[in-house]
Homo-oligomer: A and B are copies of this chain.
Amino acid sequence: MTVLRKRVVQDNFDLNERSQLVLRSIIENYIQSSEPIGSRSLSKSLGVKLSPATIRNIMSDLADLGFLIQTHTSAGRVPTDSAYRFYVDSLAPPASIPEQIKQKLSAVPNEHGTQVEEILAETVHLLADLTKFACVVSTPKAAVSRLQRIELIKLSEDRILVILVTKAGVVRDKIIFVNESHSQKFLNSVTEFLNKKFKDRSMQEIRDEIHQSLVNDRSRYHELLAHAVRIGKKAFELNQPGEMLIDGQMNLLLDSHFHELSSVRSLIDAFDQKSAILKILDDSMKQKGVHIFIGVENDFKLLQDCTLITASYRNNQNVLGSIGVVGPTSMDYKRIISMVDYTAHILSKTITEQSYD
């Protein structure tokens, strides 16, 4: 499992073993309790024997380094975003997923013939349920997916049903409208032509090539091919901007960190702007592994009180999309990271089984 660091922690500090222990302990306690951690209570819960006073000194240093803040003068300390970052990068022990959870995640429908969208919906629902946070997943990008099969079906004089089957097993249908009526027989020959010419090519390539054909080779094609290319152009036009499924938004409301109405409101707004989240998911597809965006590390302002953890899923050939979890910055990182990672793997496996590659 590769965990990318989005933002490198400043290097000009020196945390000895003990400070690290204290920091880790504060973070883990805080993740559990959601309440500021004081020196006294920490002294008790800490394995090592250290007096509250000593811990206070250490805490003071950690505060100076920007890892802890106080909500007010006489309150305990709370980890900052940098603290979580350091924790994730250096302190968090790798988590193993309980067998029970693994089983549940593996129970994603994988009978033969399950549609990709269904698999995604089930997966994101399951992950939301297990993490108790909000989960998102982007559907396979049409542009990168490669053609397995195209089919043209005459529905009426001016309507043609286009079926696109991609290598990843995604079936897309849309209806195109044409000016002149074509016989099904003619459409069959167009189908054959398009399949022969474009099978295994990516949608983007296909579109580009058709575009070129229309621009350059207008004269070279005879009548039938001209029709075919024109229909093909419409058929391969990308009408879907890319989609995203969300599940478990409501889970966040039950989380103790989002009890203030203001933060809930910004979350609501965040999920309304699907395109912004989709962009993050798309970006994180570009690099392998688990991506973690903690609080202010999110470029998307409305998510700056949250942590977003994503991982891409793929089939044999291509990275297809990303799945992610949105939760409070004080989430149980090791648990959630490993779950996102594991889910992405299972999802990749399931989808690969559906693929034609």
Contacts and interface: CB of A to CB of B under 8 A. Distances in A.
Interface of A: 112-113, 115, 148-149, 151, 153, 155-156, 159, 161, 163, 165, 169, 171, 173-177, 249-250, 253-254, 264-265, 268, 271-272, 356
Nearest to A173: B171
A156 B356 CA distance: 9
Contact of A153 (B151, B174, B175, B254): B151
Nearest to A265: B254
Nearest to A112: B177
11 contacts: A153-B163, A155-B165, A155-B356, A161-B165, A161-B171, A163-B173, A171-B173, A249-B249, A250-B268, A250-B271, A250-B272
A268 B254 CA distance: 10
Contacts of A149: 153, 155, 161
Contacts of A159: 113
A352 B202 CA distance: 35
Which interface residue of A115, A175, A264, A356 has the most chain B CB atoms within 10 A? Answer: A175
Nearest to A115: B174
A174 B113 contact: yes
B176 A113 contact: yes
Nearest to A249: B250
Contacts of A161: 149, 151, 163, 165, 171
A272 B161 CA distance: 35
B148 A155 contact: yes
A110 to B, nearest CB: 13
Given A148-B155, A163-B163, A165-B155, A175 B113 contact: yes
Contacts of A264: 253
Contacts of A177: 112-113
A124 to B, nearest CB: 14
A156 to B, nearest CB: 7
A265 B268 CA distance: 16
Q: Which 3 A-B pairs have the closest CB atoms?
A: A250-B268, A113-B175, A171-B173
A165 B165 CA distance: 17
Contacts of A165: 153, 155, 161
Given A161-B171, A173-B173, A249-B250, 7 more contacts: A113-B159, A149-B153, A151-B151, A153-B165, A156-B356, A171-B173, A254-B265
A149 B356 CA distance: 26
A156 B271 CA distance: 39
A85 to B, nearest CB: 29
Contacts of A153: 149, 151, 163, 165
Contacts of A113: 159, 174-177
Contacts of A112: 175, 177
